[in-house]
Amino acid sequence: MRHLLSTRDLSRQDAIRILDVAEEMSAVGEREIKKLPALRGRTVVNLFFEDSTRTRISFEAAAKRLSADVITFAVKGSSVSKGESLKDTAQTLEAMSADAVVIRHWASGAPARLATSDWIDAAVINAGDGMHEHPTQALLDAFTLRRHWAKISGVPSVGSDLSGMAVTIVGDVLHSRVARSNLWLLETLGASVTLVAPPTLVPVGAERWPCRITYNLDEALAAGPDAVMMLRLQAERMNAAFFPSTREYSRRWGFDDARLAALDTHGLDHTVIMHPGPMNRGLEISAAAADSPRSTVLAQVRNGVSVRMAALYLLLSGDEHQSPATEPTQENPR
């Protein structure tokens, strides 16, 4: 693996390797001293063309726990005002000898441009690009799901996949990079995926995707999913007439209290509720659902650091076969 740009081109082997290394990283997070020297002397740049405090601090924490030097580069400018060009920024980072660039960009494909151009040599990690992909989010979701699935199946998490698991993703699929990355990765890991969305928020062309698509959330819940993943709704979508009102959206596609109760009615004792955050409470998810024991929201955040540590470690460390957490360290000498 040279870059992490999408889950669509991630092999099952690589995906499981990342998740397994993330398990080791997670163990580091439970130590008193949560730090490994693995990336000492390496420079990781967080290059953010779009505001995202959560993803940025998650990557920062991941890089710092691996002892990398972290530089955060927030580029002002939007799709309207052109701002500094990606090429100039990339070449600046190249001149600073960045070893890895974690890029968040509002334009789909910007990380791919960075990785395939001759502007920069660094490893590129896609931290979310436009409506395209958000692979580390999908990996942390898969990590969360795998732990859950392994637990109820009574098998160890490490080395396992999501075979037989049914995952339902609900909301604005059209504009969601989280939905796309999850779909590809879940399919690779053996889960079956159902997408639930208003017809206006299902992309033309999605009929070829490896999933079931339905417009009816209640039917999808009655089908007994093992996990329900709610997508964040951007309020501005309403202005483009994708649906009549947020209230109507919420009634038809929101995970409200009635639907939370329906999980019990259907006898779905193990079904979890996921959300990538930040949540619009009362819109796509009710407060009761978000705070219920079924909710994995905080576990997802916690797992995000482990998964991002794994991604950085695998991209930047020369030896893929050495276990990072068992390296002799000053903090943890053997």
Partner 1 sequence: MNAPAPARYLIRGAALLGRERADLLIADGIIAGVGQGLSAAGAEVIDADGLIALPGLVDLHTHLREPGREDAETVETGTRAAARGGFTAVHAMANSTPVADTAGVVEQVYSLGRRAGWVEVRPVGAVTVGLGGTQLAELGAMADSRARVRVFSDDGVCVSDPVLMRRALEYVKAFDGVIAQHAQEPRLTEGAQMNEGAVSAVLGLTGWPAVAEESIIARDVLLAHHVQSRLHVCHVSTAGSVEIIRWAKARGIRVTAEVTPHHLLLTDELVRSYNPVYKVNPPLRTSEDVQALREALADGTIDVVGTDHAPHPSEHKDCEWAQAAMGMTGLETALSVVQHTMINTGLMDWEGFARVTSSTPATIGGLEQQGRPLAEGEAANVTLVDPEARWVVDPDKMATMGRNSPFAGTELPGAVHATFFRGHPTVLAGRLNTPHPTAAEESTWTG
Please identify which residue in 67, 108, 317, 332 interacts with partner 1, judged by CB under 8 A: 108
**Contacting residue, 75, 206, 238, 262, with partner 1 by CB under 8 A:** 206
CB of 198 to partner 1, least distance (A): 16
Whether the CB-CB separation of 157 and 147 falls below 8 Å is answered with: yes
Q: How many residues does the chain have?
A: 334
Stretch that binds partner 1, among 52-60, 110-118, 218-226, 308-316 (CB under 8 A): 110-118
Out of 71, 75, 131, 158, point to the residue binding partner 1 (CB under 8 A). Answer: 131
Which of 38-46, 148-156, 197-205, 294-302 is the region at the interface with partner 1 (rule: CB under 8 A)?
A: 197-205
For the bound state, the minimum distance from the C-beta of residue 152 to partner 1, rounded and expressed in Å, comes to: 32
Instruction: Please tell me the distance from the alpha carbon of residue 162 to that of residue 15, in angstroms, as a whole number.
Output: 12
Span between the terminal Cα atoms of the chain, in Å = 30
150 lines the binding site for partner 1 (CB under 8 A): no
> Phi then psi for 29, rounded to 5 degrees?
-65, -15
Q: What's the CA gap between 112 and 79, in Å, rounded?
A: 18
In this complex, which beta carbon is closest to partner 1, that of residue 97 or of residue 117? 117
Our CB check for partner 1 shows the closer of 174 and 301 to be 174
Distance CA 46, CA 39 (A): 15
180 near partner 1 (CB under 8 A): yes
Tokens read off for 112: 């791919």
Q: Residue type at 13?
A: Q
CB of 175 to partner 1, least distance (A): 8
Stretch that binds partner 1, among 28-36, 40-48, 129-137, 297-305 (CB under 8 A): 129-137
**Contact call for residues 52 and 136 (beta carbons, < 8 A):** no
186 Cβ contact list (under 8 Å, min separation 6): 138, 142, 145, 162, 165, 167, 193
Minimum distance, C-beta of residue 253 to partner 1, in the bound complex (Å)? 20
Distance CA 29, CA 306 (A): 8
Number of residues counted as binding partner 1 (CB under 8 A): 29
Residue of 67, 72, 75, 130 interacting with partner 1 (CB under 8 A): 130
Residue 11 interacting with partner 1 (CB under 8 A): no
87 belongs to the binding site for partner 1 (CB under 8 A): yes
Q: Write the Ramachandran bin of 113: left for phi over 0, alpha for psi from -120 to 50, otherwise beta.
A: alpha
- Applying CB under 8 A, which of residues 71, 75, 107, 301 lies at the interface with partner 1? 107
Contact 67, 36 (CB under 8 A): yes
The residues that touch partner 1, with contacts defined as CB under 8 A, are 8, 79, 82, 85-87, 105-110, 112-113, 116-117, 129-133, 177, 180, 203-206, 208-209
